[in-house]
Amino acid sequence: MPLLYAIIFITGAAILALELLASRILTPYFGVSIFIWTGILSITLVALAAGYWAGGRLTQARRQPSTAKLAAWYLAQPAWAALSIVLACLVYPHAFHALAGFDLVAGAFIACTILLFMPLLTTSAMNPLLVALMTRARGADSGPLAELDAGSGRVFFVSTVGSVAGVIVTAFVLMPHLSNYDAVLVVALVLALLSLAGALRPPMALARRERLLGLSIVATVASAGLLAGSGLYLDRLWPARYGGAQWEKRAEYGSLFGRVKVLSGPTEAPEADRVLIYFQDGLVQNTLDASGRSQSFFTYALEALARAYRPDARDALVLGLGAGVVPMTLARQGVEVTAVEIDPVSFLVAQRHFGFDPARVRAVQADARTWLRDCRGAKDVVVVDLFHGDGVPEYLVTRDFFRDVARCLREGGVAVFNTFADLDRPGVYGDFLATLGMEFPHATVYRPDPSGSRHVNSFVVASATPLASPAFTSTLEVPGRHAGALREMLGRPMGPEALRAGRGQVVTDARNSGTLDIAAAQLAYRRLVIETVPPAFLVN
């Protein structure tokens, strides 16, 4: 009997592990929005409900199944779940990109069904099966009703505690150290081994034990085989074509905030002419050439605006590290820089591949929102470059956050923000500017020529005191393809009212009436990603 409870504990862990991993697998394809989590939670609950119903029906078949048959059904479910996971892992690297291109919301629901429905249905069916087994083992068919309640309560208690353990192990063991693809296959292998253990050392008499043993062996071999060969299977997607050139994967790192890939290309070019891309969850964090020079416009825009409005800056805070280009550039200009980044993997990747030097920049691994609460009047410049998924996380665009940024600045200090503006949904940006204006009444907006794009970087310089006229900023060190665009952008600042749709609504931690508008804007950006980024970049 202990084995039966151990199995329900581990399958409970597998259910929540799969749900958590599914959110990470889906993010590069479908983005981070309430629509995606609606799909995950809906499919999860439908699968659990169907599994509980199906398991109950099996125990109440017209021809009352024997205890040996119920035990065999119970022990077979993890193996069936493992096989369905293996099948999903064979399919999704090729199918999810097409589903996202079809429709981000409907595609997400279909993708959730592929990943979650069968594994969760089969594992949840085990709960009523185990209740029936426990009831028969106690001879409770003729006993008091209280005994039946006690048995079901214990089964669901053990399963739920297992789910808690599954979340913890997934978040702190699987996700930081394995790709999400491999982590899901580890779950499949564990499930297959549960069935195999039950077949090899059955806790009670089993009907057709040889069939269970065969199914368990097939599930174990399939899970272990694909796990061992996952690199070979996924490497078939490389090299991948992006931006008119072929790219290869140079390195890959696990992270709680999305799988990080370091990409190198064009593969047909000599090594000295190749560039490196820092790529995470569908977002190009930065691009550097072989000499370590940034090829991304936003890095030059942020540095130029900080220098233009505070040429005398001595202390700067950079929120969001990425490849570490902006803090390193400011440090080379003699500014004392603190860089705050929530993802510890970012520091590793920036240092190992993109020239970040922690000896020159104070590196702090912390959530920007939390760290700012203890910052008081210490900085001349705060650069806010915080992105996750398809935009800035909502809790980092509230009045409460902007108040913390303002407190961190000295008198006359400036904050420089890198943001996304969806030109088809100006109301979202209007809310951002209205909220910013409550703590920074003086602001100027800079935006490069969108060149037909409707989703563009938009830079904001803000201060609690009137902004001085910007100082001349040289563009001699800016790559030629960006120098002209930067000069043009710096020459035409815009007031916040130029980009605000109506007055805009103030967003606080307690109230955000534009959540659905933000989600729609994020979906619009994710469509651009799917249209331009190949499937190989998105598999994580």
DSSP string, 284-318: EEEEEETTS-B--HHHHHHHHHHHHH-TT--EEEE
Segment-wise mean pLDDT, segments of 10 residues, the chain, 540 residues: 90 95 91 81 95 89 79 95 98 95 93 96 94 76 48 87 95 90 97 96 91 97 97 92 91 87 92 91 87 92 95 95 94 95 94 95 94 90 84 81 95 93 77 90 88 77 93 84 90 73 73 72 79 90
CA dist 280 and 265 (Å) reads 17
Task: Phi first, then psi: give them for residue 131, nearest 5 degrees.
Answer: -60, -45
Q: What is the DSSP letter of 244?
A: T
Nearest CA to 269 out of 284, 251, 248, 283 is that of: 248
Q: What is the DSSP letter of 533?
A: S
- Torsion of Cα atoms, 290 then 293 then 295 then 296, to 10°: 140
Q: What is the DSSP letter of 223?
A: H
Domains of the chain: which residue ranges?
2-234, 295-465+476-513
2: number of Cβ within 10 Å:
7
- pLDDT given at position 94: 94
Task: Phi first, then psi: give them for residue 399, nearest 5 degrees.
Answer: -60, -35
CA dist 132 and 126 (Å) reads 10
Could you tell me the two tokens for 258?
Answer: 């999305």
What is the CA angle 283-284-290, rounded to 5? 165
Give the position of tokens 């959730």.
Answer: 112
Helix or strand run (H / E) with residue 245: strand 245-253
- pLDDT given at position 86: 98
496: number of Cβ within 10 Å:
22
Task: Phi first, then psi: give them for residue 318, nearest 5 degrees.
Answer: -115, 120
Question: pTM higher than 0.75, yes or no?
Answer: yes
pLDDT tens profile 321-370: 999 999 999 999 999 999 999 999 999 999 999 999 999 999 999 999 99
pLDDT tens profile 436-449: 999 999 999 998 87
Q: What is the DSSP letter of 260?
A: E
Q: What is the DSSP letter of 74?
A: H
- pLDDT given at position 499: 56
For 333-420, where are the alpha helices, taking DSSP H only? 344-353, 368-372, 399-408
What is the CA angle 88-388-447, rounded to 5? 130
pLDDT tens profile 53-84: 999 888 876 567 888 999 999 999 999 999 99
Chain centre to alpha carbon of residue 439: 30
Nearest CA to 302 out of 322, 282, 283, 284 is that of: 322
Nearest CA to 204 out of 122, 130, 128 is that of: 130
Give the position of tokens 């065999």.
Answer: 72
CA dist 175 and 169 (Å) reads 9
- pLDDT given at position 139: 65
CATH of domain 2-234: 1.20.1250
CA dist 160 and 374 (Å) reads 38
377: number of Cβ within 10 Å:
11
- pLDDT given at position 150: 47
CA dist 465 and 539 (Å) reads 47
- pLDDT given at position 514: 66
Task: Phi first, then psi: give them for residue 199, nearest 5 degrees.
Answer: -75, -35
CATH of domain 295-465+476-513: 3.40.50.150
- pLDDT given at position 392: 73
Burial class (CB in 10 A: 0-12, 13-18, 19+), 63: exposed
6: number of Cβ within 10 Å:
16
CA dist 400 and 413 (Å) reads 18
CA dist 401 and 367 (Å) reads 12
Q: Which amino acid is residue 96, in one-letter code?
A: F
Please spell the DSSP secondary structure of 433-464, one letter per residue.
HHHHHHH--EEEEE----TT-SEEEEEEEEES
- pLDDT given at position 422: 75
Q: Which amino acid is residue 397, in one-letter code?
A: V
CA dist 51 and 212 (Å) reads 20
Nearest CA to 98 out of 247, 454, 106 is that of: 106
Helix or strand run (H / E) with residue 112: helix 104-112
